[in-house]
């Protein structure tokens, strides 16, 4: 950049480099996805097409950014883990987050027609926000990933029971909410099995535990699996 009398404005920029020698997790979340799910008629409680689309977009991010070691996704969110030695963009949070979010969003929109061939996108288009958090130890990182997966299990068990009460039990939303108020996991499993002959253990793993994308170092490729 050429020197000029206007260059002083750079002094207003803030330094946002993330802590060195820490695992960086950038989490992407859908914005207004409750309305979007209703708009495009996503299947309840889970739409496999929507989850596959999320995985397609996430795999593109992992492929594009080799500094990412693993990614975990559930519902409308995805967490991308950058290794501790990452120096991409000098570890600037704004650069890392904006790159992950924009790459994810672009591939989500680009791949939409592959997963929803009969449902064209219309304005407003899907968008995502993001944040970056540093974790100093492997144990901290493991606890973060466990937290997200536990959240996946809790939400999916509730949603599976909630929508079974509505779709199979004939209840409305408020009646289903009242039925589930104060229930524990065992209670929800009992409702599913006794009322609808649904064994929650037989539900697809991707619904119960989410998806993982990891880098196969020996092959130099990315792989996708279910937790």
- pLDDT tens digits for 112-134? 999 999 999 999 999 999 999 99
Enter the tokens of residue 205. Answer: 């793993």
Annotated binding-site positions for GTP = 75-76
Has residue 216 got a pLDDT over 90? no
The per-residue pLDDT for range 14-31, each reduced to its tens digit, is 889 999 999 999 999 999
- pLDDT: which is higher, 218 or 8: 8
- Candidates 200, 167, 210; CA nearest to 76 is 210
**Whole-number pLDDT of residue 221:** 57
The pLDDT of residue 14:
87
In the prediction, which pLDDT does 3 show?
75
What domains can be seen in the chain, in order of their start residue? 16-146+205-226 (3.30.70.3000)
pTM: 0.91
Half-sphere exposure of 140 (CA within 13 A, CB side): 11
Q: Which residues are annotated as a binding site for Mg(2+)?
A: 29-30, 76
Helical H runs in the chain? 33-39, 48-64, 93-115, 138-167, 173-180, 185-196, 205-209
Q: Is the pLDDT of residue 222 over 70?
A: no
Binding-site sequence positions: 29-30, 75-76
């Amino acid at each position: 950049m050429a020197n000029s009398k206007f260059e002083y404005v750079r002094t207003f920029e803030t330094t946002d480099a993330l802590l060195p020698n820490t695992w960086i997790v950038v989490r992407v979340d859908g914005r207004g996805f409750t309305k979007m799910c209703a708009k495009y008629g996503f299947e309840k409680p889970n739409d496999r097409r929507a989850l596959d689309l999320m995985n397609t977009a996430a795999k593109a991010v992992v492929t594009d950014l080799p500094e990412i070691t693993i990614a975990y996704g559930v519902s409308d969110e995805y967490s991308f883990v950058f290794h501790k030695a990452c120096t991409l963009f000098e570890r600037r949070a704004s650069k890392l987050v904006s790159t992950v979010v924009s790459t994810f969003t672009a591939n989500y929109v680009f791949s939409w027609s592959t997963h929803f061939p009969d449902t064209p996108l219309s304005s407003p288009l899907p968008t995502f926000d993001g944040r970056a958090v540093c974790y100093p130890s492997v144990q901290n990182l493991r606890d973060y990933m466990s937290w997200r997966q536990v959240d996946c299990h809790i939400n999916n068990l509730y949603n599976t029971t909630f929508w079974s009460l509505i779709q199979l039990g004939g209840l409305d939303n408020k009646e289903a909410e009242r039925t589930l108020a104060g229930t524990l996991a065992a209670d929800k499993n009992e409702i599913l099995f006794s009322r609808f002959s649904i064994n929650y253990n037989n539900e697809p793993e991707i619904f119960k535990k989410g998806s993982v994308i990891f880098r196969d170092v020996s092959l130099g490729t990315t792989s996708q699996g279910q937790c």
